[in-house]
Every structure is written in C-alpha cells, then in structure tokens.
Amino acid sequence: IMMIILLSFAIFYVMRYAEKVKKDPSKSLIFDLKKSNEDHFLGTTTQEIPELDSKRKLILWIFGGTFFIMILGVIPWAYKFNITIFEDINSFFLNLPLIGKILGGMVPLGDWWFGEMTTLFLVSAVFVGKVYGMKEKEIVSVFMTGARDLLGVALIVGVSRGITIVMNAGGMTNTVLYWGEQALTGVGSTAFAIISYLFYLPMSFLIPSTSGLATLSMPIMAPMGEFSGLAKSVVVTGYQSASGVLNLLTPTSSVVMGGLAIARVSYTKWLKFVMPLFITFIIMTIALLALGSIM
C-alpha cells in the first residue's frame, strides 16, 4: 500500500513538473543550460544510420555477452542454489601448474562484486576497441573522455563515504546508535514508529549499506519495538523507507551522482527539484507508519 501511494505521488509530481516545463520551457530549473546541453547531446547527431556490418554485430555480441557474464557472476549459485559447477571450474584452472599462478586468486562466478565487474567491463572495452580497429592510444583516449564526466562524481562519493569510514573507525556510529536507543526507551508504539523512522534518516546517510545498517541496528531496534507493542514488520518498514527516501539525494549514492553527471544537472539544482518530494515523502511515510502502528 505504501509503495502504491508514494509511487503514485512521485509520478504525479514528475508529470506536473514536465507539464509546466512543456508549457513554458523557461520554468525548467536547467533552462540556463539549454544551449550547452543541446550542443552536448545533439551536436554530433547525424541522419545517416551506419550499416550493421559483421564488425558491429560482433561488438553487439561482446556487449551482450559482458552483461550475461556479469549476471552469472553476481548470482550466488553455491550459496543459494547449491550449484558448485563454477567453483569446480575455478578450482580446476587454479590448480594447473602455470595457469594457476597467472590467474592467482581468481574469484568464481557467483562470488563477484564491484571489483570483478569493473575488471570485466574494462577487458570488454579493450576487446570492443580492438574489434573496431582502434589503436591503443585511441582506446585510452576514448576511455578517458567517457570517464571524464564521472571523475567529479567519484571524488564526491569517495569523500562522502570517507565520513562513514571515520565514524565507524572512531566508534561514533555506535555512540549515535546508543543515543537512538536511549531516546526510544519507554515510548509508545506510535511514537516509536515515528521516532525510529526519523532516527534511521541520518543513520542511512552515515551507513549507506542497507544490509550493514540492518546488521548494526536491527538487533537493538526490533526487540525495543516489540517491547513498546510495535510489530517487527513496522520497524523494518520504517528502516527501509528511511533508507529508500534518503537515496533520492544522498551524495554517497553513485546512482544519484552518476545520473546527475551524465544528465549534466548540478547537485544543487537536483536538490531544488527533489526536496519538496523528499519532504512530502517523509510526511506521508510518518502518517502511514503511525497508521500501521495502531492497526
């Protein structure tokens, strides 16, 4: 129910803004960038559609195969489905006399994450460049041009995540958790639902990982919620809602910052657009959590 209500309002919010800009383009928050954005996104367009020759078909196969391998790599085959074929293949190659030393600590499909996916895409990019007939300098130049717009994003996300590292290393995160525990001790079910949601908003910034936040806080928050007469499901809903709504604007989110960089929208302009939606989501979520606590 909460998802339907919030999603419906978000669609209404975006469509109303789009309708307003359609009637009067000057109402757009990035109207001052109209000319530069048109030059950037439309300046190199051409009416000619290149022929889909064998070289381009092979590149498409490499592109699709990359995503296929990535999907195979992140599905926990052994852990979830007890399928060990990829681990067996990995062990076979690692035990070979020469190849095993070259491959080193190769991670089997099913245990991949960002490091392995980054390597996969980097290798695929080199393959695509060579198939297209590009020289090494051209491949590096094109790669740097593509990564240029995301360099600022990487710095922002890195610095923002640094706050989390300092907080955790200094034990400050546990202190904040303790303060939250003290503030929620002895309150009623409705007050607990609301206060815990507000507590999870800053905590979601300090601990961007949803699983990490749940691991740290749920052993404390869930029993306290039950003690106040609140169902565990409402506590989990409050935690997940806070984490979700904060991801609309947190600078630690690579999705938000990367999307803004690609769209050439400044973070301040994005805040100006999304802040009314963010505040409305908080108010609506508080009302729904309060309703859920008494049902």
What letters, b where the CB count within 10 A reaches 16 and e where it falls short, cover 109-139? bbbbeeebeeebeeebbebbbeeeeeeeeeb
Confidence at residue 282, expressed as pLDDT on a 0 to 100 scale: 94
**Domain membership flag for residue 86:** yes
In a domain, 90, yes or no: yes
What is the residue range of 248's domain?
168-294
Q: What is the largest CA-CA distance in the chain?
A: 71
Instruction: Pick the closest to residue 125 from 103, 144, 152 (CA basis).
Output: 144
- Alpha-carbon dihedral angle through residues 62, 68, 73, 78, given to the nearest 10 degrees: -140
pTM of the predicted model as reported, rounded to 2 decimal places: 0.66
Residue 35 lies in a domain: no
Residues 245, 174 share a domain? yes
Identify the sign of the CA torsion 59, 62, 68, 73: negative
Shared domain for 124 and 217, answered yes or no, is: no
What amino acid is encoded at 206 in this protein? L
In angstroms, rounded to a whole number, what is the distance separating the alpha carbons of residues 276 and 112? 38
- Both 174 and 127 in one domain: the answer is no
Closest Cα to residue 229, out of 199, 262, 188? 188
pLDDT digits (tens), the chain, 295 positions: 888 999 999 999 999 999 999 999 888 888 888 887 777 677 665 567 778 888 899 999 999 999 999 999 999 998 888 888 888 888 888 888 777 776 667 888 898 988 899 899 999 999 999 998 888 888 888 888 877 767 766 776 677 667 667 766 777 767 776 776 677 677 788 888 888 899 888 888 877 777 777 777 777 777 777 777 888 888 889 888 998 898 888 887 778 888 888 888 888 999 999 999 999 999 999 999 999 888 7
* Judgement on whether residues 120 and 173 belong to the same structural domain of the protein: no
Please check whether residues 86 and 176 belong to one and the same domain.
Answer: no
Asked if residue 204 lies in contact with residue 250, where contact means CB atoms within 8 angstroms, the answer is yes
Neighbouring residues of 117: CB distance < 8 A, sequence distance ≥ 6: 70, 73, 74
- Shared domain check, 272 and 209: yes
Number of folded domains that form the chain: 2
Instruction: Check residue 121 and give left, alpha or beta (phi > 0: left; psi -120 to 50: alpha).
Output: alpha
Q: Which pLDDT score is estimated for 66?
A: 95
pLDDT of residue 142: 86
Please tell me whether residues 188 and 122 are part of one structural domain: no
What whole-number distance in Å separates Cα of residue 28 and Cα of residue 83?
A: 52
Of 134, 155, 176, the residue at which a domain comes to its end is 134
Give the Cα separation of 217 and 222 in Å (integer).
8
Sign of CA dihedral 176, 182, 187, 189: positive
Q: Which of 90, 113, 134 is the last residue of a domain?
A: 134
Domain assignment present for 39: no
Residue 53 confidence (pLDDT): 86
User: Considering the domain boundaries, does residue 98 fall inside one?
Assistant: yes
> At which of 79, 110, 134 does a domain end?
134
Please indicate, yes or no, if residue 208 is contained in any of the structural domains: yes
